[in-house]
Structure 1
Protein backbone atom coordinates (compact mmCIF):
# COMPACT_ATOMS: atom_id res chain seq x y z
CA UNK A 1 0.00 0.00 0.00
CA UNK A 2 1.61 3.26 -1.15
CA UNK A 3 1.44 6.72 0.35
CA UNK A 4 0.36 5.79 3.90
CA UNK A 5 3.55 6.31 5.88
CA UNK A 6 2.98 9.76 7.39
CA UNK A 7 5.20 9.99 10.48
CA UNK A 8 5.41 6.24 11.04
CA UNK A 9 8.81 4.77 12.00
CA UNK A 10 10.91 4.00 8.94
CA UNK A 11 11.00 0.24 9.51
CA UNK A 12 7.24 0.19 8.90
CA UNK A 13 7.39 1.97 5.54
CA UNK A 14 10.22 0.29 3.61
CA UNK A 15 7.87 -1.28 1.07
CA UNK A 16 6.05 1.94 0.18
CA UNK A 17 7.20 3.15 -3.22
CA UNK A 18 5.77 6.63 -2.68
CA UNK A 19 6.05 7.85 0.89
CA UNK A 20 3.95 10.81 2.00
CA UNK A 21 5.90 12.47 4.78
CA UNK A 22 5.64 16.00 6.27
CA UNK A 23 3.89 17.21 3.14
CA UNK A 24 6.51 15.75 0.78
CA UNK A 25 6.05 13.00 -1.76
CA UNK A 26 9.16 10.83 -1.54
CA UNK A 27 10.05 8.04 -3.91
CA UNK A 28 11.64 4.95 -2.34
CA UNK A 29 13.29 1.90 -3.90
CA UNK A 30 13.58 -1.20 -1.74
CA UNK A 31 15.11 -3.50 -4.34
CA UNK A 32 18.00 -4.73 -2.19
CA UNK A 33 20.78 -3.17 -4.26
CA UNK A 34 21.58 -0.36 -1.80
CA UNK A 35 20.59 0.82 1.69
CA UNK A 36 20.36 4.49 0.73
CA UNK A 37 17.14 4.46 -1.25
CA UNK A 38 14.63 4.13 1.60
CA UNK A 39 13.95 6.18 4.71
CA UNK A 40 15.79 5.27 7.93
CA UNK A 41 15.18 6.20 11.55
CA UNK A 42 18.23 8.44 11.80
CA UNK A 43 16.96 10.59 8.97
CA UNK A 44 13.60 10.93 10.67
CA UNK A 45 15.12 11.96 14.02
CA UNK A 46 17.58 14.37 12.38
CA UNK A 47 14.80 15.96 10.33
CA UNK A 48 12.68 16.41 13.45
CA UNK A 49 15.58 18.10 15.25
CA UNK A 50 16.63 20.49 12.48
CA UNK A 51 13.76 22.99 13.02
CA UNK A 52 15.00 23.49 16.61
CA UNK A 53 18.35 24.87 15.46
CA UNK A 54 19.03 28.44 16.50
CA UNK A 55 21.62 28.79 13.73
CA UNK A 56 20.65 31.34 11.10
CA UNK A 57 19.97 29.62 7.73
CA UNK A 58 22.91 29.74 5.36
CA UNK A 59 24.65 27.08 3.27
CA UNK A 60 24.52 23.41 4.24
CA UNK A 61 25.81 20.11 2.87
CA UNK A 62 24.39 16.66 3.56
CA UNK A 63 26.45 13.50 3.25
CA UNK A 64 24.50 10.39 2.28
CA UNK A 65 21.29 12.30 1.60
CA UNK A 66 19.35 9.17 0.60
CA UNK A 67 15.75 9.94 -0.34
CA UNK A 68 16.26 13.61 0.55
CA UNK A 69 14.10 14.15 3.66
CA UNK A 70 16.75 16.02 5.67
CA UNK A 71 17.78 18.14 2.69
CA UNK A 72 14.16 19.08 2.05
CA UNK A 73 13.66 19.88 5.73
CA UNK A 74 16.65 22.22 5.70
CA UNK A 75 15.51 23.86 2.47
CA UNK A 76 12.06 24.39 3.98
CA UNK A 77 13.78 26.32 6.78
CA UNK A 78 15.52 28.58 4.27
CA UNK A 79 18.85 26.79 3.93
CA UNK A 80 20.58 26.36 0.56
CA UNK A 81 21.58 22.69 0.54
CA UNK A 82 24.06 20.58 -1.40
CA UNK A 83 22.58 17.07 -1.11
CA UNK A 84 25.21 14.42 -1.85
CA UNK A 85 25.23 10.65 -2.23
CA UNK A 86 26.51 7.96 -4.58
CA UNK A 87 25.33 8.11 -8.17
CA UNK A 88 23.01 5.10 -7.99
CA UNK A 89 21.13 6.64 -5.05
CA UNK A 90 20.92 9.96 -6.90
CA UNK A 91 19.54 8.27 -10.01
CA UNK A 92 17.03 6.07 -8.20
CA UNK A 93 15.52 8.50 -5.68
CA UNK A 94 17.39 11.61 -4.58
CA UNK A 95 17.34 13.68 -7.76
CA UNK A 96 13.67 12.92 -8.43
CA UNK A 97 12.62 13.74 -4.86
CA UNK A 98 14.54 17.01 -4.81
CA UNK A 99 12.95 18.11 -8.09
CA UNK A 100 9.42 16.93 -7.30
CA UNK A 101 9.30 18.79 -3.98
CA UNK A 102 11.31 21.90 -4.88
CA UNK A 103 8.18 24.05 -5.05
CA UNK A 104 7.45 23.30 -1.38
CA UNK A 105 10.67 24.76 0.07
CA UNK A 106 12.14 28.23 0.39
CA UNK A 107 15.80 27.32 -0.05
CA UNK A 108 17.60 25.70 -2.95
CA UNK A 109 18.69 22.06 -3.22
CA UNK A 110 21.59 21.11 -5.47
CA UNK A 111 22.27 17.39 -5.95
CA UNK A 112 25.80 16.10 -6.47
CA UNK A 113 27.66 12.81 -6.20
CA UNK A 114 30.24 12.70 -3.41
CA UNK A 115 32.11 9.42 -2.94
CA UNK A 116 33.89 9.58 0.42
CA UNK A 117 36.58 7.16 -0.71
CA UNK A 118 37.85 9.70 -3.26
CA UNK A 119 40.70 11.76 -1.83
CA UNK A 120 39.75 15.43 -1.28
CA UNK A 121 42.48 16.65 -3.61
CA UNK A 122 40.43 15.15 -6.44
CA UNK A 123 37.23 17.00 -5.54
CA UNK A 124 35.83 19.66 -7.84
CA UNK A 125 32.92 21.93 -7.03
CA UNK A 126 32.43 23.09 -10.62
CA UNK A 127 31.48 19.66 -11.97
CA UNK A 128 27.74 19.70 -12.70
CA UNK A 129 27.22 16.11 -11.55
CA UNK A 130 29.95 15.01 -9.17
CA UNK A 131 32.16 16.62 -6.54
CA UNK A 132 34.34 13.49 -6.54
CA UNK A 133 34.87 12.94 -10.25
CA UNK A 134 38.41 11.61 -9.62
CA UNK A 135 40.12 14.31 -11.65
CA UNK A 136 42.54 16.89 -10.24
CA UNK A 137 40.53 19.83 -8.95
CA UNK A 138 41.56 23.08 -10.62
CA UNK A 139 39.06 25.36 -8.96
CA UNK A 140 39.57 26.73 -5.44
CA UNK A 141 36.54 25.72 -3.28
CA UNK A 142 35.38 29.28 -2.71
CA UNK A 143 35.30 29.93 -6.47
CA UNK A 144 31.97 28.18 -6.88
CA UNK A 145 28.67 28.85 -5.05
CA UNK A 146 28.19 25.14 -4.32
CA UNK A 147 31.53 24.85 -2.56
CA UNK A 148 32.72 25.65 0.97
CA UNK A 149 32.47 27.40 3.30
CA UNK A 150 29.44 25.62 4.74
CA UNK A 151 27.60 26.77 7.85
CA UNK A 152 26.16 23.32 8.51
CA UNK A 153 27.25 19.74 7.77
CA UNK A 154 24.74 16.95 8.40
CA UNK A 155 24.66 13.20 7.91
CA UNK A 156 22.44 10.37 9.13
CA UNK A 157 22.38 6.58 8.89
CA UNK A 158 25.88 6.62 7.43
CA UNK A 159 27.83 4.95 10.25
CA UNK A 160 27.22 1.24 9.80
CA UNK A 161 30.33 -0.40 8.30
CA UNK A 162 34.03 -0.20 9.27
CA UNK A 163 35.10 0.25 5.63
CA UNK A 164 33.39 3.63 5.41
CA UNK A 165 34.04 5.01 8.91
CA UNK A 166 37.41 6.64 8.17
CA UNK A 167 36.41 7.92 4.71
CA UNK A 168 33.32 9.50 6.30
CA UNK A 169 35.40 11.16 9.04
CA UNK A 170 37.94 12.36 6.47
CA UNK A 171 35.15 13.88 4.39
CA UNK A 172 33.61 15.63 7.40
CA UNK A 173 37.03 16.85 8.55
CA UNK A 174 37.88 18.22 5.11
CA UNK A 175 34.56 20.02 4.70
CA UNK A 176 34.82 21.44 8.21
CA UNK A 177 38.41 22.59 7.62
CA UNK A 178 37.44 24.32 4.38
CA UNK A 179 34.52 25.96 6.22
CA UNK A 180 36.49 26.98 9.32
CA UNK A 181 36.28 30.78 9.39
CA UNK A 182 37.68 33.02 12.08
CA UNK A 183 38.45 30.03 14.26
CA UNK A 184 34.78 29.01 14.30
CA UNK A 185 33.74 25.50 13.35
CA UNK A 186 30.62 24.92 11.26
CA UNK A 187 27.86 23.04 13.05
CA UNK A 188 28.21 19.32 12.34
CA UNK A 189 25.38 16.87 13.12
CA UNK A 190 25.78 13.09 12.97
CA UNK A 191 22.74 10.84 13.57
CA UNK A 192 22.82 7.05 13.60
CA UNK A 193 21.42 3.86 15.08
CA UNK A 194 23.77 2.15 17.56
CA UNK A 195 23.68 -1.23 15.86
CA UNK A 196 27.39 -1.93 16.34
CA UNK A 197 28.55 -0.37 19.64
CA UNK A 198 32.22 -1.17 19.04
CA UNK A 199 32.17 0.53 15.63
CA UNK A 200 30.33 3.55 17.03
CA UNK A 201 32.64 3.98 20.01
CA UNK A 202 35.78 3.49 17.92
CA UNK A 203 34.60 5.98 15.30
CA UNK A 204 33.66 8.65 17.85
CA UNK A 205 37.05 8.16 19.51
CA UNK A 206 38.84 8.53 16.17
CA UNK A 207 36.76 11.60 15.36
CA UNK A 208 38.43 13.40 18.26
CA UNK A 209 41.81 11.70 18.66
CA UNK A 210 42.69 11.51 14.95
CA UNK A 211 40.62 14.19 13.23
CA UNK A 212 40.20 16.83 15.93
CA UNK A 213 36.39 16.63 15.77
CA UNK A 214 35.14 16.85 19.35
CA UNK A 215 31.90 14.85 19.82
CA UNK A 216 29.05 15.87 22.10
CA UNK A 217 25.85 13.85 22.37
CA UNK A 218 22.54 15.70 22.22
CA UNK A 219 20.40 14.53 25.16
CA UNK A 220 17.45 12.28 24.38
CA UNK A 221 15.19 14.71 26.24
CA UNK A 222 15.81 17.31 23.52
CA UNK A 223 15.18 14.71 20.84
CA UNK A 224 11.87 13.72 22.40
CA UNK A 225 10.77 17.36 22.52
CA UNK A 226 11.72 17.86 18.87
CA UNK A 227 9.99 14.64 17.84
CA UNK A 228 6.76 15.61 19.56
CA UNK A 229 6.73 18.98 17.79
CA UNK A 230 7.29 17.18 14.49
CA UNK A 231 4.43 14.77 15.11
CA UNK A 232 6.64 11.74 15.83
CA UNK A 233 4.74 10.44 18.86
CA UNK A 234 6.35 7.05 19.01
CA UNK A 235 6.91 4.49 21.71
CA UNK A 236 10.44 4.28 23.10
CA UNK A 237 11.06 0.95 21.38
CA UNK A 238 10.22 2.48 18.00
CA UNK A 239 13.45 4.50 17.96
CA UNK A 240 15.56 2.80 20.62
CA UNK A 241 19.27 3.07 19.81
CA UNK A 242 19.09 6.25 17.71
CA UNK A 243 21.64 8.88 18.78
CA UNK A 244 22.35 12.42 17.60
CA UNK A 245 25.80 13.91 18.09
CA UNK A 246 27.35 17.31 17.46
CA UNK A 247 30.94 17.42 16.21
CA UNK A 248 33.08 20.51 16.62
CA UNK A 249 36.33 20.98 14.71
CA UNK A 250 39.18 21.82 17.05
CA UNK A 251 42.87 21.90 16.23
CA UNK A 252 43.46 18.70 14.23
CA UNK A 253 45.82 16.19 15.75
CA UNK A 254 49.09 15.21 14.14
CA UNK A 255 47.69 11.90 12.89
CA UNK A 256 45.00 13.40 10.69
CA UNK A 257 47.10 13.79 7.56
CA UNK A 258 48.57 10.30 7.88
CA UNK A 259 45.12 8.77 8.33
CA UNK A 260 43.80 10.72 5.35
CA UNK A 261 46.61 9.36 3.20
CA UNK A 262 46.06 5.77 4.30
CA UNK A 263 42.23 5.69 4.32
CA UNK A 264 40.85 2.82 2.28
CA UNK A 265 40.08 3.31 -1.39
CA UNK A 266 37.50 0.52 -1.23
CA UNK A 267 34.28 1.69 -2.90
CA UNK A 268 31.30 0.39 -0.95
CA UNK A 269 27.65 0.68 -1.92
CA UNK A 270 25.59 2.61 0.60
Structure 2
Protein backbone atom coordinates (compact mmCIF):
# COMPACT_ATOMS: atom_id res chain seq x y z
CA UNK A 1 0.00 0.00 0.00
CA UNK A 2 1.26 3.49 -0.87
CA UNK A 3 1.74 5.86 2.04
CA UNK A 4 0.59 9.49 2.05
CA UNK A 5 3.14 11.68 0.29
CA UNK A 6 4.14 13.54 3.44
CA UNK A 7 5.47 10.26 4.88
CA UNK A 8 7.74 9.51 1.93
CA UNK A 9 9.40 12.77 0.90
CA UNK A 10 12.71 11.60 2.37
CA UNK A 11 12.91 8.68 -0.08
CA UNK A 12 14.97 9.34 -3.24
CA UNK A 13 13.01 6.70 -5.19
CA UNK A 14 9.44 5.58 -4.57
CA UNK A 15 8.21 2.14 -5.61
CA UNK A 16 4.65 3.27 -6.28
CA UNK A 17 1.92 0.72 -7.12
CA UNK A 18 -0.95 1.95 -9.27
CA UNK A 19 -3.56 -0.64 -10.13
CA UNK A 20 -1.67 -3.29 -12.12
CA UNK A 21 1.44 -1.12 -12.63
CA UNK A 22 4.43 -0.42 -10.41
CA UNK A 23 6.12 2.92 -11.01
CA UNK A 24 9.59 3.79 -9.76
CA UNK A 25 9.54 7.52 -9.17
CA UNK A 26 12.65 9.54 -8.41
CA UNK A 27 12.05 12.59 -6.25
CA UNK A 28 13.98 15.38 -4.56
CA UNK A 29 13.12 17.14 -1.33
CA UNK A 30 15.90 19.71 -1.45
CA UNK A 31 13.83 22.86 -0.93
CA UNK A 32 14.59 24.16 -4.43
CA UNK A 33 11.16 23.44 -5.90
CA UNK A 34 7.81 22.09 -4.67
CA UNK A 35 7.44 20.15 -7.90
CA UNK A 36 10.26 17.66 -7.41
CA UNK A 37 8.53 15.50 -4.78
CA UNK A 38 5.24 13.64 -4.59
CA UNK A 39 2.20 15.42 -3.12
CA UNK A 40 -1.15 14.18 -1.88
CA UNK A 41 -3.16 15.75 -4.66
CA UNK A 42 -1.59 13.64 -7.39
CA UNK A 43 -2.20 10.50 -5.33
CA UNK A 44 -5.86 11.30 -4.77
CA UNK A 45 -6.65 12.61 -8.25
CA UNK A 46 -5.04 9.65 -10.01
CA UNK A 47 -7.22 7.23 -8.06
CA UNK A 48 -10.38 9.29 -8.55
CA UNK A 49 -9.83 9.45 -12.31
CA UNK A 50 -9.38 5.67 -12.25
CA UNK A 51 -13.06 5.36 -11.22
CA UNK A 52 -14.37 7.28 -14.26
CA UNK A 53 -15.43 5.16 -17.24
CA UNK A 54 -14.61 8.09 -19.52
CA UNK A 55 -10.98 7.73 -18.40
CA UNK A 56 -10.57 3.98 -18.02
CA UNK A 57 -12.22 3.06 -21.34
CA UNK A 58 -9.57 4.73 -23.44
CA UNK A 59 -8.73 1.41 -25.10
CA UNK A 60 -9.20 0.24 -27.74
CA UNK A 61 -9.79 3.39 -29.79
CA UNK A 62 -8.64 4.19 -33.29
CA UNK A 63 -7.48 7.59 -32.04
CA UNK A 64 -6.29 7.52 -28.40
CA UNK A 65 -7.67 10.33 -26.26
CA UNK A 66 -5.32 13.13 -25.32
CA UNK A 67 -4.76 14.75 -21.94
CA UNK A 68 -2.61 17.61 -20.71
CA UNK A 69 -1.44 18.30 -17.18
CA UNK A 70 -0.23 21.58 -15.74
CA UNK A 71 2.40 21.08 -13.05
CA UNK A 72 3.22 17.39 -13.58
CA UNK A 73 5.89 17.22 -10.88
CA UNK A 74 7.38 13.74 -10.64
CA UNK A 75 4.92 12.38 -13.21
CA UNK A 76 2.44 10.21 -11.31
CA UNK A 77 -0.70 11.53 -13.04
CA UNK A 78 0.66 11.26 -16.61
CA UNK A 79 1.83 7.72 -15.91
CA UNK A 80 -1.55 6.80 -14.42
CA UNK A 81 -3.41 8.12 -17.46
CA UNK A 82 -1.01 6.46 -19.87
CA UNK A 83 -1.68 3.15 -18.11
CA UNK A 84 -5.26 3.47 -19.40
CA UNK A 85 -4.13 4.17 -22.95
CA UNK A 86 -4.18 7.98 -22.92
CA UNK A 87 -1.61 10.06 -24.76
CA UNK A 88 -0.50 12.65 -22.25
CA UNK A 89 1.36 15.94 -22.45
CA UNK A 90 3.13 16.43 -19.11
CA UNK A 91 4.23 20.00 -18.44
CA UNK A 92 6.19 21.83 -15.77
CA UNK A 93 8.95 24.39 -15.36
CA UNK A 94 12.47 23.66 -16.64
CA UNK A 95 14.00 22.66 -13.29
CA UNK A 96 11.34 20.03 -12.61
CA UNK A 97 11.62 18.65 -16.13
CA UNK A 98 15.39 18.32 -15.89
CA UNK A 99 15.61 16.96 -12.36
CA UNK A 100 12.78 14.40 -12.11
CA UNK A 101 9.95 14.51 -14.66
CA UNK A 102 11.73 13.46 -17.85
CA UNK A 103 13.69 10.78 -15.98
CA UNK A 104 10.57 9.25 -14.45
CA UNK A 105 8.72 9.21 -17.75
CA UNK A 106 11.64 7.62 -19.58
CA UNK A 107 12.05 4.88 -16.96
CA UNK A 108 8.36 4.03 -16.50
CA UNK A 109 6.37 4.77 -19.65
CA UNK A 110 7.89 2.38 -22.18
CA UNK A 111 5.62 -0.54 -21.25
CA UNK A 112 2.39 1.46 -20.91
CA UNK A 113 -0.30 1.41 -23.62
CA UNK A 114 -0.38 5.20 -23.81
CA UNK A 115 2.39 7.65 -24.66
CA UNK A 116 3.75 10.60 -22.67
CA UNK A 117 5.55 13.70 -23.89
CA UNK A 118 7.13 16.23 -21.54
CA UNK A 119 7.59 19.91 -22.37
CA UNK A 120 8.13 23.12 -20.48
CA UNK A 121 5.08 25.29 -19.85
CA UNK A 122 5.58 28.28 -17.58
CA UNK A 123 2.15 29.66 -16.57
CA UNK A 124 3.52 33.18 -16.19
CA UNK A 125 3.97 33.36 -19.96
CA UNK A 126 0.75 34.71 -21.52
CA UNK A 127 -0.99 32.14 -23.78
CA UNK A 128 -0.68 34.40 -26.82
CA UNK A 129 3.09 33.80 -26.59
CA UNK A 130 2.88 30.00 -26.35
CA UNK A 131 4.57 28.02 -29.10
CA UNK A 132 3.02 24.62 -29.77
CA UNK A 133 5.52 23.99 -32.57
CA UNK A 134 8.47 24.06 -30.17
CA UNK A 135 9.71 20.60 -29.28
CA UNK A 136 11.25 21.69 -25.99
CA UNK A 137 9.07 24.39 -24.48
CA UNK A 138 5.53 25.57 -25.15
CA UNK A 139 6.10 28.53 -22.84
CA UNK A 140 9.44 29.28 -21.24
CA UNK A 141 10.59 32.07 -18.98
CA UNK A 142 13.71 32.22 -21.18
CA UNK A 143 13.89 31.63 -24.92
CA UNK A 144 13.90 27.90 -25.66
CA UNK A 145 15.59 26.04 -28.48
CA UNK A 146 13.42 25.85 -31.57
CA UNK A 147 12.36 22.55 -33.06
CA UNK A 148 12.91 21.31 -36.56
CA UNK A 149 9.98 20.32 -38.75
CA UNK A 150 10.72 16.61 -38.23
CA UNK A 151 10.80 17.04 -34.46
CA UNK A 152 7.38 18.71 -34.32
CA UNK A 153 5.68 15.89 -36.20
CA UNK A 154 3.59 13.92 -33.73
CA UNK A 155 3.88 16.48 -30.94
CA UNK A 156 0.82 16.58 -28.70
CA UNK A 157 -1.16 19.81 -29.02
CA UNK A 158 -4.77 20.95 -28.64
CA UNK A 159 -7.48 19.90 -28.80
CA UNK A 160 -7.28 17.82 -25.62
CA UNK A 161 -9.99 15.56 -24.22
CA UNK A 162 -8.99 16.06 -20.57
CA UNK A 163 -7.11 18.73 -18.61
CA UNK A 164 -5.75 18.03 -15.12
CA UNK A 165 -3.73 19.73 -12.43
CA UNK A 166 -2.95 18.87 -8.82
CA UNK A 167 -1.18 20.54 -5.91
CA UNK A 168 -0.91 23.77 -7.89
CA UNK A 169 -3.06 26.20 -5.85
CA UNK A 170 -0.84 27.33 -3.00
CA UNK A 171 0.84 30.58 -4.06
CA UNK A 172 -1.30 33.75 -4.43
CA UNK A 173 0.97 35.03 -7.19
CA UNK A 174 0.29 31.93 -9.31
CA UNK A 175 -3.51 31.79 -9.00
CA UNK A 176 -4.28 33.95 -12.03
CA UNK A 177 -1.47 32.52 -14.21
CA UNK A 178 -2.75 29.00 -13.50
CA UNK A 179 -6.39 29.86 -14.21
CA UNK A 180 -5.43 31.77 -17.34
CA UNK A 181 -3.47 28.74 -18.56
CA UNK A 182 -6.30 26.32 -17.79
CA UNK A 183 -8.73 28.58 -19.64
CA UNK A 184 -6.44 28.84 -22.65
CA UNK A 185 -6.14 25.06 -22.88
CA UNK A 186 -9.90 24.64 -22.52
CA UNK A 187 -10.64 27.26 -25.18
CA UNK A 188 -8.20 25.60 -27.58
CA UNK A 189 -9.87 22.23 -26.94
CA UNK A 190 -13.52 23.12 -27.52
CA UNK A 191 -14.99 20.39 -29.71
CA UNK A 192 -15.71 21.43 -33.28
CA UNK A 193 -18.66 19.01 -33.37
CA UNK A 194 -20.33 19.35 -29.96
CA UNK A 195 -19.17 22.88 -29.13
CA UNK A 196 -18.23 21.68 -25.65
CA UNK A 197 -14.99 22.12 -23.75
CA UNK A 198 -13.23 19.18 -22.08
CA UNK A 199 -13.49 18.69 -18.31
CA UNK A 200 -10.78 20.18 -16.13
CA UNK A 201 -10.03 18.34 -12.88
CA UNK A 202 -8.10 20.19 -10.20
CA UNK A 203 -7.05 18.57 -6.95
CA UNK A 204 -6.02 20.95 -4.20
CA UNK A 205 -5.19 20.95 -0.52
CA UNK A 206 -7.11 23.56 1.47
CA UNK A 207 -4.17 24.86 3.51
CA UNK A 208 -5.20 28.49 3.00
CA UNK A 209 -9.02 28.68 2.80
CA UNK A 210 -9.02 32.33 1.75
CA UNK A 211 -6.68 31.64 -1.16
CA UNK A 212 -8.72 28.63 -2.32
CA UNK A 213 -12.02 30.49 -2.05
CA UNK A 214 -10.57 33.39 -4.01
CA UNK A 215 -9.22 31.06 -6.72
CA UNK A 216 -12.56 29.30 -7.17
CA UNK A 217 -14.46 32.58 -7.24
CA UNK A 218 -12.01 33.92 -9.80
CA UNK A 219 -12.41 30.77 -11.92
CA UNK A 220 -16.17 31.39 -12.01
CA UNK A 221 -16.34 35.16 -12.36
CA UNK A 222 -13.31 35.95 -14.49
CA UNK A 223 -12.22 32.81 -16.33
CA UNK A 224 -15.68 31.53 -17.34
CA UNK A 225 -15.63 28.18 -15.55
CA UNK A 226 -18.53 26.43 -13.87
CA UNK A 227 -17.14 24.71 -10.80
CA UNK A 228 -18.34 21.60 -9.02
CA UNK A 229 -16.71 19.94 -6.04
CA UNK A 230 -16.51 16.14 -6.22
CA UNK A 231 -18.24 14.82 -3.08
CA UNK A 232 -15.93 13.69 -0.30
CA UNK A 233 -17.56 10.26 -0.25
CA UNK A 234 -16.71 9.66 -3.90
CA UNK A 235 -13.07 10.55 -3.31
CA UNK A 236 -12.97 8.35 -0.21
CA UNK A 237 -14.39 5.40 -2.14
CA UNK A 238 -11.85 5.96 -4.91
CA UNK A 239 -8.99 5.76 -2.40
CA UNK A 240 -10.42 2.57 -0.92
CA UNK A 241 -10.83 1.00 -4.35
CA UNK A 242 -7.23 1.93 -5.06
CA UNK A 243 -6.08 0.05 -1.97
CA UNK A 244 -5.31 3.06 0.21
CA UNK A 245 -6.61 2.39 3.71
CA UNK A 246 -5.66 5.84 4.97
CA UNK A 247 -7.21 7.50 7.96
CA UNK A 248 -9.32 10.55 7.21
CA UNK A 249 -6.70 12.72 8.91
CA UNK A 250 -4.04 11.51 6.45
CA UNK A 251 -5.68 13.35 3.56
CA UNK A 252 -7.63 16.01 5.40
CA UNK A 253 -8.07 19.17 3.35
CA UNK A 254 -7.88 17.44 -0.04
CA UNK A 255 -10.59 18.52 -2.49
CA UNK A 256 -11.18 17.62 -6.13
CA UNK A 257 -12.98 20.14 -8.30
CA UNK A 258 -14.38 19.73 -11.79
CA UNK A 259 -14.26 22.86 -13.92
CA UNK A 260 -16.14 23.18 -17.20
CA UNK A 261 -15.67 26.17 -19.46
CA UNK A 262 -18.80 28.08 -20.35
CA UNK A 263 -19.18 28.59 -24.08
CA UNK A 264 -19.58 30.86 -25.99
CA UNK A 265 -17.05 33.03 -24.22
CA UNK A 266 -16.83 36.68 -23.24
CA UNK A 267 -13.41 38.28 -23.09
CA UNK A 268 -11.65 37.65 -19.73
CA UNK A 269 -11.08 40.46 -17.25
CA UNK A 270 -8.93 40.48 -14.09
CA UNK A 271 -9.92 39.12 -10.70
Q: Deviations over 1:109-167 (max 9, x none)?
A: 000000001011111112111001477x9x9xxx9641100000000000001100000
Distance apart, 1:68 and its partner CA: 0.2
Asked if structure 1 preserves the Cα contact closer than 8 Å seen for 2:69 and 2:163, the reply is: yes
- What residue number does 2:114 align with? 107
Q: How does 1:88-107 map to 2 (within 5 A)?
A: 88-107=95-114
CA contact (8 A) 1:37 1:92 kept: yes
After superposition, where does 1:49-88 map in structure 2 within 5 Å? 49-55=48-54, 56-57=57-58, 58-88=65-95
Question: For structure 1, which runs of at least 5 residues remain unmatched after alignment?
Answer: 1-5, 264-270
Equivalent residue number for residue 213 of structure 2? 201
Of the three residues 221, 226, 229, the one matched with 2:233 is 221
TM-score (norm 1): 0.88
CA deviations 1:196-222 (Å, max 9, x no partner) are 100101110110111111110001111
Residue 192 of structure 1 aligns with which residue? 204
Aligned pairs, number:
252
RMSD: 2.2
Q: Equivalent of 2:3, from 8, 17, 20? A: 8
Deviations along 1:4-38, one digit per CA (max 9) or x if unpaired, are xx510000000000001011000001111010000
Give the secondary-structure state (helix, strand or coil) at the position aligned to 1:52: coil
- Structure 2 length-normalised TM: 0.88
Verify: 1:31 aligned to 2:30, yes or no.
Answer: yes
Give the distance between the partners of 2:223 and 2:242, measured in 1 at CA: 33
Cα separation, 2, equivalents of 1:233 and 1:104: 28
Contact conserved, 1:210 with 1:253, CA < 8 A, in 2? no
- Residue 3 (structure 1) aligns with: none
Return the match for 1:242 from 254, 260, 268.
Answer: 254
**2:51, 2:248 → 1: CA distance?**
21
Counterpart for residue 124 of structure 1: 131
Mapping of residues 140-159 of structure 1, within 5 Å: 145-159=155-169
1:78-122 per-residue CA deviation (whole Å, 9 max, x = no partner) reads 100000000000011000000000123110000000000101111
Assess if the C-alpha contact under 8 Å between 2:196 and 2:263 holds in 1.
no
Please list every run of 5 or more consecutive structure 2 residues that lacks an aligned counterpart in the other structure: 59-64
Give 1:211's match in structure 2, choosing from 207, 223, 231: 223
Q: Distance in 2 between matches of 1:80 and 1:109?
A: 6
Q: Is the 8 A contact 2:135 2:155 kept in 1?
A: no
